[in-house]
Structure 1
Amino acid sequence: MLSQGFVSAAAIAASVLFILSLGGLSNQEKAKRAVWYGIVGMAVAVFFTAFGPGIGAYWLMIPMMIIGAVIGAYVAKKVDMTEMPQLVAALHSFVGLAAVFVAWSADLERRRVLAARALDAGTEQFSAFAALVATKAPDELMFLQVEVVLGVFIGAVTFTGSVIAFGKLAGKVDGKPKQLPGGHLLNAGAAALSLLLAILYLNGAGFWTLLLIAALAFFIGYHLIMGIGGADMPVVVSMLNSYSGWAAAAIGFTLSNDLLIVTGALVGSSGAILSYIMCKAMNRNFVNVILGGFGGSQGPAAEIEGEQVAIDAGGVASALNDADSVIIVPGYGMAVAQAQNAVSELVRKLRAAGKQVRFGIHPVAGRLPGHMNVLLAEARVPYDIVLEMDEINDDFASTDVVIVIGSNDIVNPAAQDDPNSPIAGMPVLKVWESKQVFVCKRGQGTGYSGIENPLFFKENTRMFYGDARSSIDSLLSQID
């Protein structure tokens, strides 16, 4: 059993490592080292917490830790990069559900302590947490109740919201925004009723109030995320990441665990900041994101004139051979086809031929923030040619060829031209301003978000149909 001094020192060390990890993730070159900071920090946190003072039942805890570690290692090896967004959403749901269970357990232990006090019984048989509760004054127990309510409510919203986000990302739930009759009034009513139940609970009502609060919060999480369209799912994942952090912080206060408080606050604040940045990138209102109030159309979409014109690999290769400047815009289709290595080889051959090749990355490309950057780094694409939207958007007008790989909304001119579009006002990559645009796409469908794209019908656009990996592979042998 380790002393409290060791545990406190370990908590400070782990917190510093987590901060270094978050800071390093902002830079591609430092990201690998930053991940190791996080791994070591979590290992320190788990070890010193598990063997700290007041912890017991190792006969149960250690097997659970081993089982969890084995499952985690198995999932990490099995999950492809294309499935990473839904994996993140699933992990968020675990955090939320854990917060609910811990909060319920904390209240049951609180009631046990109060019952023992009423009977003037001893505390020798109490759990470590109940013994801690037994030392609290009445006003401190009131704060504990507030923490329990927050843990239940935030955790429950995070759980069902993350489950629906997982379903939408995995294609198991329709990506279109859907709400029950009454819309946001249902969410507001459930939130108001949760507040009323919280007041009753704080004034001595039974455990049933926490059960009802959890049920209402489960509904809110479900209905919020169901009301958000697939095009906005990257922001949703980031937002749920923030929710899971605040749920963890609330439980940290409940358990008097400083490390959990710090870690939860780091996750919650970083997720909120990232959500805000992404909302700015999509021209969305941050409050509307939190309330699930966006993602639907504002009226009838503008009619699209023209037709989609297909082109074969020979035509695309000929244009690339004649071009001096090329910009590649990757999207989730590249991830699905696992085409990043083929794209990297295409870039190598084009650059060897003396052509300027760069990548244009939209802040919400793919279904997870930074998804495209990770894929390109995995394929060893040089960092210096991977540019953000703001860095490259003005260069499209002077670019010979743009290759769009599996992207739809982030290159959709309707965001600027059609006020009734579901993505109206969203900043996009202005690929249509280039001389020629080739779109690698599996078919003529509208894609994940269900939004039609006028880019596909423009005179300077040609559709390069087929699996992205096979399509890029077919170009390699034809590049001079």
Structure 2
Amino acid sequence: MSAEEITQLAYLVPVALFVLGIKRLARVRTARTGNLILASGVLVAVVITLVEMGLVNYTWMVLGLAAGGTVGVITVLRASATSMPQVVARFNGFSGAAAALVGLALFWEEVVFPDAGEGAIGLMGAMAGLALAVSVVIGAATLSGSILAEAKLWGRLSRLTRVPGRGPLVVGASILTVVAMALSLSLVDVRHAALAILFLLLFSLAVGFFAVAPVGGADMPVMISLLNSVSGLAVAASGFAIGNTMLIMGGIIVGAAGLMLTQIMCVAMNRTLWSVFAGGLDEVASGEGDSYENVVGSDPEEAAMVLEAARNVVIVPGYGLAAARAQQPAADLADALAEQGVQVRFAIHPVAGRMPGHMNVVLAEANVPYDRLVEMERVNSDFPNVDLVIVVGANDVVNPAANQASGSPIAGMPILDVENARRVMVVKRSLSPGYAGIKNELFERDHCTMLFGDAKQVLEDLVREFRAGVPTP
């Protein structure tokens, strides 16, 4: 067996680690070890690649690893659990940028510098040249789309959902991208070819921008998942271009996993991928029937008295909990209830927050035990047996309109059926609508009371009042 064959077989080790790591990410209890396994797989892949390259000048590699590692560490250290969606969007952009830069560097090395007068196809072959161009296109589109997604998540461009003439602009940019791709691969004059691939980069950035521009906050979990998938495809295209098996396999795995997650998110929101790209939920007018007539308010003292009689409690976290940094008071409330023998669980909706698993990350920061987290499919049938549901900062994911109003923007969207519990308390700053822009019929139900205020402060007061009202063990 030759050294090349041994190397190719060795690449199966990191691939196996990738598959195992992604599998373990599917469960909260094993997600941390899954992340470590994935990181180990990347490390093994890098080592095998360096061995395959043999003795080369490692100066730029070391500098690149140092720069990238520093940026990654600083980004994560500065990030909080509430900003994880922004971090994921940023890392998706980094992946796209890396793929685009690899494509550009390879084009300069194989086509521009030799200046052999044969063009990219003549020097590299049709398949390798096409893979190079595709890595630039997908990578650049992923970069611009991820930058815009992160800006929207931070609220800086959240209102950018309508771009005048967006349809013709997307079509025009796409056509120009195809033309620039063809010219960059076929032109014999390297100066013209280099100019064409730079225009290809520019048009691809425009395509990514126009694709993400109409997507609102409600659809952002789907978009983040899709960008993750596309970044994997960009990496795979780079692998084809430079002939690296590991990049091809790793990129395809990431692309496939991201695409499956995107489909799961679309089903969870009862949305099609096309409707996400077309824009939607944030553009819905909230003027129809958005006034409330029968809302009952309460305070932490009264709520604590209700808690004292409850034996089965479910807490539903939403983005409002993350935004108020109320995960620790929520965990403290769960601990206080458990000390009194109350069964307490956190019900997690698949799209609660700004990305898949956002609530899991936020609650993990407060060291909420994994066995207290329960998914929507498991808890929905049990709500009739629940004494009290405490909704913290969630809105559309508990809105009964999804089950009843056929004309509602969220009609058919799977929700947490908290209305079936014996009592419901909602912690919210105001009666303002969620991303869908419609009223929440739950707030007017006879068995629902509202606790208005900052989620962190309300939960802290609730914990204090509850502990004061129960006997000390």
Give the TM-score of the pair, scaled to structure 1.
Answer: 0.87
Match of 1:207 among 179, 194, 200: 194
Match of 2:163 among 142, 167, 180: 180
| 1:311 equivalent in alignment to 2:298 | yes
| 1:162 equivalent in alignment to 2:146 | yes
Tell me which moved more, 330-339 or 230-239: 330-339
Deviations 1:305-354 (A, max 9, x none): 41544321011111111223221111122223333232223222223323
**Structure 1 counterpart of 2:252, one-letter code:** A
**Structure 1 counterpart of 2:173, one-letter code:** A
Tell me which moved more, 327-336 or 410-419: 410-419
Q: Which residue number in structure 1 is paired with residue 266 of structure 2? A: 279
| 1:147 equivalent in alignment to 2:134 | no
CA shift for structure 1 position 150: 1.1
Distance 1:171 1:178 in 2: 12
Q: Which residue number in structure 2 is paired with residue 104 of structure 1? A: 104
Q: Which residue number in structure 2 is paired with residue 367 of structure 1? A: 354
CA 1:36 to 1:299, structure 2 compared with 1: closer, same or farther past 3 Å?
Answer: closer
Unaligned runs of 5+ in 1: 119-132
CA 1:246 to 1:294, structure 2 compared with 1: closer, same or farther past 3 Å?
Answer: farther
Distance 1:31 1:15 in 2: 18
Distance 2:122 2:179 in 1: 22
Distance 1:46 1:345 in 2: 43
CA RMSD, aligned part only? 2.8
Q: Which residue number in structure 1 is paired with residue 330 of structure 2? A: 343
Distance 2:162 2:150 in 1: 17
Please state whether the residue corresponding to 2:232 is helix, strand or coil. helix
Distance 1:224 1:416 in 2: 31
CA 1:420 to 1:220, structure 2 compared with 1: closer, same or farther past 3 Å?
Answer: farther
CA shift for structure 1 position 448: 5.9
CA 1:57 to 1:421, structure 2 compared with 1: closer, same or farther past 3 Å?
Answer: farther
CA shift for structure 1 position 472: 1.6
CA 1:258 to 1:243, structure 2 compared with 1: closer, same or farther past 3 Å?
Answer: same
CA shift for structure 1 position 86: 0.1
Match of 2:429 among 442, 448, 461: 442
Distance 1:171 1:56 in 2: 46
Deviations 1:59-107 (A, max 9, x none): 2321231232233222222211111110010111111122222212222
Please state whether the residue corresponding to 1:354 is helix, strand or coil. coil
Distance 2:360 2:302 in 1: 28
Contact 1:248 1:260 in 2 (8 A): yes
Tell me which moved more, 427-436 or 195-204: 195-204
Tell me which moved more, 335-344 or 319-328: 335-344
CA 1:4 to 1:362, structure 2 compared with 1: closer, same or farther past 3 Å?
Answer: same
Contact 2:161 2:279 in 1 (8 A): no
**Structure 2 counterpart of 1:263, one-letter code:** G
Please state whether the residue corresponding to 1:206 is helix, strand or coil. helix
CA shift for structure 1 position 56: 3.5
Distance 2:459 2:38 in 1: 36
| 1:191 equivalent in alignment to 2:174 | yes
Tell me which moved more, 361-370 or 216-225: 216-225
| 1:225 equivalent in alignment to 2:215 | no
Unaligned runs of 5+ in 2: none
Q: Which residue number in structure 2 is paired with residue 19 of structure 1? A: 19
CA shift for structure 1 position 10: 4.4
Q: Which residue number in structure 1 is paired with residue 91 of structure 2? A: 91
Distance 2:135 2:453 in 1: 48
CA shift for structure 1 position 117: 7.3
Give the TM-score of the pair, scaled to structure 2.
Answer: 0.88
**Structure 2 counterpart of 1:29, one-letter code:** R
CA 1:202 to 1:292, structure 2 compared with 1: closer, same or farther past 3 Å?
Answer: farther
CA 1:300 to 1:463, structure 2 compared with 1: closer, same or farther past 3 Å?
Answer: closer
Contact 2:232 2:255 in 1 (8 A): yes
Distance 1:433 1:474 in 2: 27
CA 1:76 to 1:29, structure 2 compared with 1: closer, same or farther past 3 Å?
Answer: same
Contact 2:218 2:282 in 1 (8 A): no
Distance 1:208 1:292 in 2: 32
Please state whether the residue corresponding to 1:367 is helix, strand or coil. coil
Contact 1:177 1:295 in 2 (8 A): no
Contact 2:217 2:282 in 1 (8 A): no
**Structure 1 counterpart of 2:315, one-letter code:** I
Deviations 1:237-265 (A, max 9, x none): 11110010001110011111111111111
**Structure 1 counterpart of 2:39, one-letter code:** I
Contact 2:282 2:436 in 1 (8 A): no
Percent sequence identity over aligned pairs = 37
**Structure 2 counterpart of 1:24, one-letter code:** R
Contact 1:329 1:402 in 2 (8 A): yes
Distance 2:376 2:434 in 1: 21
CA shift for structure 1 position 6: 6.7
Tell me which moved more, 426-435 or 220-229: 426-435
Q: Which residue number in structure 2 is paired with residue 124 of structure 1? A: none
Contact 1:302 1:418 in 2 (8 A): no
Q: Which residue number in structure 2 is paired with residue 264 of structure 1? A: 251
Please state whether the residue corresponding to 1:477 is helix, strand or coil. helix
Please state whether the residue corresponding to 1:180 is helix, strand or coil. coil
Please state whether the residue corresponding to 1:64 is helix, strand or coil. helix
| 1:426 equivalent in alignment to 2:410 | no
Q: Which residue number in structure 2 is paired with residue 129 of structure 1? A: none
Q: Matched residue pairs, number?
A: 460
**Structure 1 counterpart of 2:34, one-letter code:** A
Please state whether the residue corresponding to 1:478 is helix, strand or coil. helix
Contact 1:333 1:407 in 2 (8 A): yes
Contact 2:390 2:427 in 1 (8 A): yes
Deviations 1:217-274 (A, max 9, x none): 2122112212111111111111110010001110011111111111111111000000
Deviations 1:157-184 (A, max 9, x none): 111111111011112221x461322333
Match of 1:295 among 256, 281, 286: 281
Please state whether the residue corresponding to 1:173 is helix, strand or coil. coil
